[in-house]
Structure 1
Amino acid sequence: MKTRTKKLLSLLLVTVMGASLLVGCGGKSSDEGDTDKTTGGDNEIVFWNIGTEEVDKAIYDKAIEMFAESTDTDYTITSVPVQNDTYKEKLVIAMSSGECPDMYINWSGGPMNEYIESGYAQPITDLFNDSELPDRLLDASIAQATYKDDIYAVPFMNVSLSGIFYNKEMFEKYDLEVPTTIEELEAVSDTFVKNGITPFALANAPKWTGSMYFMNLAARKGGLEPFNAAVDGSGTFEDECFIWAGDKILEWEEKGYFPEGVNSLSEDDGQARQMLYQETAAMDLIGSWYTGLIQQDSPEFYEKIGWFPFPGLEGSDVDDSIMIGTIGDNFISFNCKDDKLAAAFECATKFSEDEMVDFMVESGKVPPVKGVENKLTDPITKSIMEAANNASSTQLWYDQYLPPAVAQAHLDTSQELFGGTMTSKDAAKKFQEAMQEYLDEAN
């Protein structure tokens, strides 16, 4: 119990201080329900998720409806959607109070592992292997749902990779080509700045949005080895690739590549997308879930949009096929047992059935299922899947991979860089101190 309490307090401290990050079988899916609800009656399964807006809300609702219609069970599912930026804090506060919903989404990595260690995620290995999921889901997504040889979650929402969405008409207006190197990306950005256009539509109040720049720059400078070495203690986050990434962010901030007040702008409120729509910004480095969001907001504007992976360094031998993201994006974990667990798991399997996969693809998603590339017709989603297939490896987002306290140090220092309030060396030192403290405690 001491270990469990310690882990939960660690999670709680990180999320509350950071204050920033992301519910079925009768088909009751409500936005007006009790958003503090964690448990229901004996036959009610409470499912916490982040489906507060379309298209995600429609996807959750459809899965719950499919479960209700196809299953002969007394169980009903109550969906409790919570806005992305408060979800993690809310989940950990519930756990710290000794409560946890029957089903809940997470992003795998370090936080999921702590949920497991704290006793709030049940192994589903037998249920999983006895289902059709091993044959349906991408192996990489199953690997991200696995901890110590057991499966603890169902990956379902998206192949989510960071990449750059750009306005094709604006590129054409200024006679610009899609950049293939960071140097060319800087030349494109300089052209936009000279013409009074913000190169990147970044809303960095939640911190993870700006983190994408840091991760991509570090990977293009040093590959994945420096990160892996820093995590296992054989290296350090004061490696030159992390300092170089910080320097680039500071340089780009100074050159006007980001909007004024970037650290006060809200991603959840759509402020970055509004800059794209108003054409005051030309590009946005963001997760590939933007395909569905932009299509939902404005199908007409979506026709103006293109996508390209983060470019590599000119003359570098670092592998520039490496992608940053996750093969699965959202994962469903379970805090229930026996018949309730079996029913909740069955509901989760609906996300990978053919009818749902078709619906998700039509909504701009790329669910982590085998053969999904054969269903894609949209050129942007096809480009994203091509990048995923061509990638030598996919680096999970730092704030998902790292232990929560270390992830928060990364997010905090990254945001400081965008504000120009911390040097790259100081940011790297603070990042490393958090990592070392975690390693010392673990040992």
Structure 2
Amino acid sequence: MKKRLPLIFTSVLSLSVLLAGCGTTAKTGSTATPTTQATAAATTAATPAPKKDAEPFTVSLRHIQIGDAQKFRKAILDDVVKKTEGEIPGLKFELDGVEDQVNRFTKLPAEMAANNPPKIFDLFGGTGDALKFAKAGRLLDLTPIITELGIKDKFVNLSQFSLDGKVYGLPIGGSSEGFYYNVPMFEKYGIKPPTTWDELTAAAETLKKNGITPIAMGSKGAWVPNMLVNTLMGRYAGPDIVNQIPAGTKKWSDPEVVAALTTFQDWEKKGYFTKGELGLEYPDMLNQFVTGKAGMMFDGSWRSSVFKDPAQAKDLTNKVSYIALPGVANGKGDQTAINGNYSNGYGFSSSLKDNELKAVKAFIKNLYNEDMQVRGLLEDNLLPSMKLSDAAVGKVTDPIVKQVLESYKKAGSVFSHFDSTVPSDVYKETESQLQKLIAGKATPQEMADAIQKVQDAAIAKK
């Protein structure tokens, strides 16, 4: 076909010349000749049509990175959003920042029930969140996407987002929970950094005798004290307890679990926690600690970035250390086990148009890679959810992050938080009952019995 084009073009040109020689203009008064008209037409045909701008579209993105404590993680998200918008023509993200607990327990469940969640949203893994929504068909199966991107096998742990061999969410990072302590205060009162249970209680007593609250606490949101309860349960009942209870092989009312709750109550009675804690929010707990009103604080490893930021840590900047909760005498199971979670990340709506799906793929590509994981580790002290190279891990200089990573090395095993293994109604009951315990309106046994009643109902539904 290509060889015939010159001959056809020559024939057309010869015919044009012949017609021009014996013909007249098409219209009286016209200055254009057939030849010039043909030339103009050819020029028009050869000129490409202007490129149409991409049709604009928006993708809703729900996040929980609000407030100063989350500013490093928000900066990472903003950069990912900007890069993704630059790669996908017409794309504009609509960001919606919502407080963590409001999103998890109020807004997102309601949106899922109505089948109108945001296209991208902060999501917790586990039975009461991601897996429940996945069973309802609300979450996008990410398996083909992460396989295509070559990152399927690069995550440390996807179990809390996996159902029937498919992946429905991606953790943004990992975390552990332990005690932060005020180094100058410990030195002032001659307190040895606790490595045993007796040393921990001795440190609490010394602080109390000197007019210092031993452990900062803000229990208006019961998930905060529940962090400590979860780890106490892992010590007294063993690290497998968080999976044994929902399986029905152990109970909340078992003696070992009640023993953990009793220790928490004993610490309440001894005045180890902040007075008026039921009226204090999570940020208030941090303020108690950084202002020197409390000598220790039980919190997640995600909080560590605060202590290198003078705007938040104030006089305590770079003067904080971290330890895991020591083992207890006669505790069940591995007493070196630590709480380790990979349960918070992003989920994606199963109802996506083609252009929205392209945006989701680009968002995942730009957020879940070694560069961003390293940045989260270095800037926000967020433990990586993906396997990093030795060179990447070697970039860590923050002393608290090193202490957290060291606690992982020393741990014989890792257990998750029960909020990712029990149904949401059971977890809500733990919060309600814990606040009653703190207020002195329930005993440890009463608390355990009440939670077990809800747990039994959940097991019966299976």
- TM-score normalized by the length of structure 1: 0.84
Quick one: which amino acid aligns to residue 87 of structure 1? N
Shift of residue 400 of structure 1? 2.6
Shift of residue 61 of structure 1? 0.7
1:147-226 map, 5 Å: 147-156=163-172, 158-226=173-241
Aligned to 2:3: none
Native 8 Å contact 1:199 1:258 kept in 2: yes
Native 8 Å contact 2:160 2:420 kept in 1: no
Q: Does 2:60 correspond to 1:46?
A: yes
| Distance (whole Å) between structure 2 residues aligned to residue 436 and residue 161 of structure 1 | 29
Q: Does 2:318 correspond to 1:303?
A: yes
1:325-404 map, 5 Å: 325-327=340-342, 329-337=344-352, 339=354, 340-360=356-376, 361-371=378-388, 373-404=393-424
1:105-144 map, 5 Å: 105-110=122-127, 111-138=129-156, 140=157, 142-144=158-160
Q: Does 2:452 correspond to 1:432?
A: yes
Aligned to 1:17: none
Structure 1 or 2, whichever has the larger Rg, is 2
Shift of residue 42 of structure 1? 7.8
Residue 80 (structure 2) aligned to one of 44, 63, 66: 63
> 4+ runs of 1 displaced by more than 4 Å?
none
Aligned to 1:6: none
Q: Deviations along 1:99-158, whole A, 9 cap, x unmatched?
A: 1111111110121111112222111111111113235432x2x233211210011221x2
Aligned to 2:111: 94
> What secondary structure sits across from 1:62 in the alignment?
helix
Q: Does 2:432 correspond to 1:412?
A: yes
Shift of residue 311 of structure 1? 0.8
Aligned to 2:50: none
Shift of residue 341 of structure 1? 2.4
Count how many residue pairs are aligned between Structure 1 and Structure 2: 396
| Distance (whole Å) between structure 2 residues aligned to residue 131 and residue 432 of structure 1 | 43
Native 8 Å contact 2:59 2:91 kept in 1: yes
- TM-score normalized by the length of structure 2: 0.81
Q: Percent identity?
A: 23
Native 8 Å contact 2:131 2:161 kept in 1: no
Moved more, 73-82 or 204-213: 73-82
| Distance (whole Å) between structure 2 residues aligned to residue 359 and residue 287 of structure 1 | 19
Moved more, 218-227 or 161-170: 218-227
Quick one: which amino acid aligns to residue 130 of structure 1? E
| Distance (whole Å) between structure 1 residues aligned to residue 113 and residue 433 of structure 2 | 26
Q: Deviations along 1:301-321, whole A, 9 cap, x unmatched?
A: 231100001111146563122
| Distance (whole Å) between structure 2 residues aligned to residue 375 and residue 134 of structure 1 | 24
> What secondary structure sits across from 2:394 in the alignment?
helix
| Distance (whole Å) between structure 2 residues aligned to residue 282 and residue 119 of structure 1 | 47
Quick one: which amino acid aligns to residue 202 of structure 2? A
> What secondary structure sits across from 2:174 in the alignment?
strand
> What secondary structure sits across from 1:164 in the alignment?
strand
Moved more, 295-304 or 180-189: 295-304
> What secondary structure sits across from 1:289 in the alignment?
helix
Q: Does 2:339 correspond to 1:324?
A: yes
> What secondary structure sits across from 1:258 in the alignment?
coil
Q: Are residues 347 and 299 of structure 1, via their aligned partners in 2, closer, same or farther at CA, if it must alter by over 3 Å?
A: farther
1:21-36 map, 5 Å: none
> What secondary structure sits across from 1:178 in the alignment?
coil
Native 8 Å contact 2:191 2:203 kept in 1: yes
Quick one: which amino acid aligns to residue 106 of structure 1? L
| Distance (whole Å) between structure 1 residues aligned to residue 410 and residue 218 of structure 2 | 29
Q: Are residues 315 and 272 of structure 1, via their aligned partners in 2, closer, same or farther at CA, if it must alter by over 3 Å?
A: same
| Distance (whole Å) between structure 2 residues aligned to residue 205 and residue 90 of structure 1 | 19
Shift of residue 328 of structure 1? 5.4
| Distance (whole Å) between structure 2 residues aligned to residue 397 and residue 252 of structure 1 | 21
| RMSD, matched Cα | 2.0
Q: Are residues 392 and 107 of structure 1, via their aligned partners in 2, closer, same or farther at CA, if it must alter by over 3 Å?
A: farther
5+ unaligned residues in a row in structure 2: which ranges?
A: 1-54
Shift of residue 211 of structure 1? 0.5
